[in-house]
Amino acid sequence: MSADGIKSGMTRYEWVLLAALSVLWGGTFFFQEIAVRELPTFTIVAFRVAIAASILIAVMVVTGSRLPRTRAVWSSLLCLSVINNIIPFCLIVWGQTQIASGVAAILNATTPMFAVLVAHFATTDEKINGPKLIGIFASFAGVVLMIGGDALAGFEIAILGQLAVVTAACSYALGGIYGRRFQKMGMSPLATSTGQLIVSTIILIPIALLIDEPWTLPVPGIDSVLAIVALASLSTALAYVIFFRILATAGATNLMLVTFLIPVSALTLGIFILDETLLLRHAGGLVCIGVGLAAFDGRLLRRGR
């Protein structure tokens, strides 16, 4: 463990939290796929952060928690909200209007690569090493194999949509590194999550009103409304509390492994809920991802030695 409390591996409890986070964020692509059929980008994201912020404010009131009051903390929350909410949320939602969700999931899985590179230069305790490199490439290969070549058939189409999702992945990686500072400020995961969503709401609502003019849009159907509520409450409010809890002790590069687990959770939900079939390539992809995660965790290698 480093001086900052960041471990190279993760505890079983942190792995459980990571798996839970992958399920919550795995639903993001599904919920957004429904919402983009009827609503424009900024309206979706504004509703997402506003509802999520309202939920977490209510939780803070009930639990007696308090938001920070210093200008320095809110300035940091402003920066975090831009790189961890506003930029990636908007880019991925817009990207899903241009490319298939499978391609978006593959491109989103580049987040740990960016996180490892940024952490190597920006931190003293999350440096690149052999196991991390093996873990990244094995896991990314598993994601591509599991989703299949069909998703990449139109890879050269809608290049702007692809670039949008890759840029979002890079922004998420920066957000993970930047978010480490809030533990040192003495902020709880709940306060950090609530603060960044409040700032995001204040910024995005005027943008949505100005650009999308939501009052001129047709009233969305019940499916879109439920998708937005689920996106806000589960994939945002609850997910970010877990996100900052893991970040505080496991570090950004370990945390970004969740993007490899997101396709796994989506596949598992599809098999057990939608009665989809487990194919050979799915099994092969899961094995590759498992090898990659084991390399990142490091315990099997240490036991072997």
Mean pLDDT, to the nearest integer, of 85-102?
A: 86
Report residue 213 as tokens: 């003019």
Query: Which pLDDT tens digit goes with each residue over 109-128?
Result: 777 777 777 777 766 666 76
Q: Give the whole-angstrom CA distance, residue 286 versus residue 49.
A: 32
Looking at per-residue pLDDT, the higher value among 302 and 160 belongs to 160
Backbone phi, then psi, for 291, in 5-degree steps?
-60, -45
- Contact criterion met (CB below 8 Å) for 196 and 77: yes
How far is the C-alpha of 195 from the C-alpha of 214, rounded, in Å? 25
pLDDT tens figures, 188-220 = 889 999 999 999 999 999 999 999 999 999 999
pTM: 0.78
Q: Which of 11, 256, 10, 8 is nearest to 128 (CA)?
A: 8
The residues spanned by each domain of the chain are 12-304
Q: Which is higher by pLDDT, 238 or 1?
A: 238
Give 84: exposed, middle or buried? Use CB within 10 Å, 0-12, 13-18, 19+.
Answer: buried
pLDDT of residue 236: 93
Residue 164, token pair as written in the block: 């949008």
User: What tens digit of pLDDT does each residue of 137-171 get?
Assistant: 777 777 777 666 555 555 555 678 878 888 898 89
| Cα dihedral across residues 87, 203, 100, 258: positive or negative | positive
In this prediction, residue 246 carries a pLDDT of 85
- Non-local CB neighbours of 249 within 8 Å, separated by 6+ positions: 5, 6, 7, 14
CA–centroid distance for 149 within its chain: 24
54-87 pLDDT per residue, tens: 999 999 999 898 888 899 999 999 999 999 999 9
pLDDT for position 5: 47
Inter-residue contact 85 to 197 (CB < 8 Å): yes
pLDDT of residue 145: 73
Percent of the chain with pLDDT over 70: 75
Distance between start and end Cα atoms, the chain: 20
Beta-carbon neighbour count of residue 275 at 10 Å? 7
Gap between the Cα atoms of 131 and 143, Å rounded: 18
245: pLDDT strictly greater than 60: yes
Contact (CB, 8 A) for 88 and 175: yes
Residue 216: what pLDDT?
92
- Nearest-angstrom CA–CA distance, 236 and 242: 10
Tokens of 145: 């194999």
Mapping DSSP onto H, E and C, the string for 20-37 reads: HHHHHHHHHHHHHHHHCC
